[in-house]
Amino acid sequence: MNTIQYKIYKHLISEIVDGDLMVNSRLTPEIQLGEQFNTNRMNAHLAIKQLERRGIVRRSRQEGTLVAKPVTPALARQLRGEAVKRICAIRSRNAYEYLHWNKEFTGGLENALKKDGFTLESVFMNDVNTRDDLKKELKRLTDDGVSAFILSVRHDDDRFMLDNSDILFQYHRHIFVYQSGDLDWMHWPFHTVTINLFGEGSIAAEYLIEKGYDQIAYCLSANVASEFWIQERFKGLQLGMRRMANGRHAPEEWIGIENIYNKFIENGSKHALVASNDEYASMIIDYFGSKGMKAGENFKIVGFDDSEKFRQYQITTVAPSHTEVGRQLANLIIHNIDIEAKGNTTCYLKIDSELIPRETA
């Protein structure tokens, strides 16, 4: 729809949702609508056509265009959302959200949404701790009109949202999950954008093999060894190394910083190190530094995430373009809530990362 058609569409939605037009009420004739909005009859006709296509109104030669069905609460929320072009992001409770909801991501997301006339609003639900609290908050938001929800989730700190996803779905049909890859959302009926953690491990393996390293150690802390994101990166490192070395080599798994240092020395300082993330890489660099060893000279190390907090370490790292992730999420939202789009699919989109070479490897 063009701008004037959308304006007429919004006007008709408001009349229907607010109860000014009940079932079997007659809409204002197209000619009069055109005059009311200083446009031609065709723009009014096409705006009404969208309501007809969705079964909200019906046409009759004798009676004109009539409201065809009652507006249920769910339909009212949907129609209000279409009238406002407002995206609400329910932000993570997790302290590590900064890794994926950063200024680059926000810029890519907001700029792409803005081009299509959408606004982005962040909502924090730190005081929402019961199902009733969540229902009240979602009702408040949807009563004002929400075109779609973005659910930013990261690991167990967001377990409340995970456990109550049925309520989210009850209050809105357009939900888009954005998470950094440390949770598996494939079993939920929501569009999901995530990071290809397996691919990140494979990228690290490929880079180090090409650098001439056939001995690689995956380094991690004992308290995160079983985490989904840890295992995904390790799988990628394993299979990437096998592929690059024709199955002749596989990475070792070293746990605990002191143990990592001891194994590195015992094995003749020949291993390239792949840390579970940049934070752990910085801890390894500090410990090795206390032993008189410098990253990039006495040992090679690669991290993940490209975390701004650890940029001073100049870590060679693997991370996605967060601007591109934001743009991809925005495009997914725009395409799937387009009222003119025919048919729907639920998408699970994994974004590939890239290697960012710096001083440590």
pLDDT digits (tens, 9 = 90+) for 11-30: 888 888 888 888 899 999 99
Residue 282 pLDDT > 70, yes or no?
A: yes
If asked whether residues 66 and 158 sit together in one domain, one would say no
Among 5-9, 13-17, 248-252, 293-297, top mean pLDDT goes to 293-297
Q: Report the distance separating Cα 353 and Cα 350, nearest Å.
A: 10
Least confident among 9-13, 147-151, 280-284: 9-13
Number of domains the chain is built from? 3
Burial of 351 (0-12, 13-18, 19+ CB in 10 A): middle
- Choose the final residue of a domain: 21, 36, 71: 71
For position 196, what pLDDT does the model report? 93
Instruction: Give the pTM.
Output: 0.83
Please indicate, yes or no, whether residues 173 and 261 belong to a single structural domain of this protein: no
More confident residue, 114 or 180: 114
Residues 12, 37, single domain; the answer is: yes
List CB contacts of 23: < 8 A, sequence separation 6 or more. 67, 68, 69, 70
pLDDT of residue 341: 61
Same structural domain for residues 231 and 295?
yes
Average pLDDT of the chain, as a whole number: 89
User: Burial of 343 by CB count in 10 Å (0-12 exposed, 13-18 middle, 19+ buried)?
Assistant: exposed
Q: Look up the domain containing 39 and give its range.
A: 3-71
Residue 248 lies in a domain: yes
Q: Are residues 87 and 175 in the same domain?
A: yes
Residue 156, pLDDT > 80, answer no
pLDDT at 247 > cutoff 90: no
Range 180-201 average pLDDT: 81
Determine contact, residues 344/336, Cβ cutoff 8 Å. Answer: yes
The percent of residues above 70 in pLDDT, for the chain, comes to 94
> Is residue 241 a contact partner of residue 278, using CB atoms and an 8 Å limit?
no
Does 157 have pLDDT greater than 60?
no
pLDDT at 265: 97
Among 78, 87, 4, residue whose Cα is nearest residue 339 = 78
**Which of the residue ranges 81-90, 168-177, 302-311 has the most confident prediction, judged by mean pLDDT?**
302-311
Query: In the beta sheet, which residues pair with residue 319?
Result: 354
Six-digit token string for 286: 């500090």
Given 71, 98, 120, which residue is the final one in a domain? 71
Question: Is the pLDDT confidence value at 166 over 70?
Answer: yes
More confident residue, 61 or 313: 313
**Which residue type sits at 255?**
I
Residue corresponding to tokens 């456990």: 163
Q: CATH no. for residue 57?
A: 1.10.10.10
The CATH number of the domain holding residue 268 is 3.40.50.2300
pLDDT grade, residue 173 (50/70/90)? confident
pLDDT given for residue 187 in this prediction: 63
Mean pLDDT of 160-174: 86
What mean pLDDT is predicted for residues 295-319?
Answer: 96
Could you tell me if residue 360 is inside a domain?
A: no
**What is the rounded CA–CA span in Å between residue 189 and residue 347?**
9
Q: Please name the residues in contact with 208: beta carbons below 8 A apart, sequence gap of 6 or more.
A: 216, 272, 274, 300, 302, 361
What integer is the mean pLDDT of 325-332? Answer: 96
| Whether residue 204 sits in one domain with residue 307 | yes
pLDDT of residue 65: 92
Whether residues 246 and 275 share a domain: the answer is: yes
- In this prediction, residues 227-234 reach a mean pLDDT of 91
Last residue of a domain, one of 24, 43, 71: 71
Q: Could you read off the pLDDT of 77-124 as tens digits, one per residue?
A: 888 888 788 999 998 777 777 888 999 999 999 999 999 999 999 998
Query: What integer is the mean pLDDT of 331-359?
Result: 85
Range ranked top by mean pLDDT from 11-20, 87-96, 152-161, 247-256: 247-256
Residue 226 binned pLDDT confidence (cut-offs 50, 70, 90): confident
127 with 217, same domain: the answer is no
pLDDT of the residue at 129:
86
Residue 357 within any structural domain of the chain: no
**Of 154-158, 233-237, 323-327, 336-340, minimum mean pLDDT range:** 154-158
On whether residue 232 sits in a domain, the answer given is yes
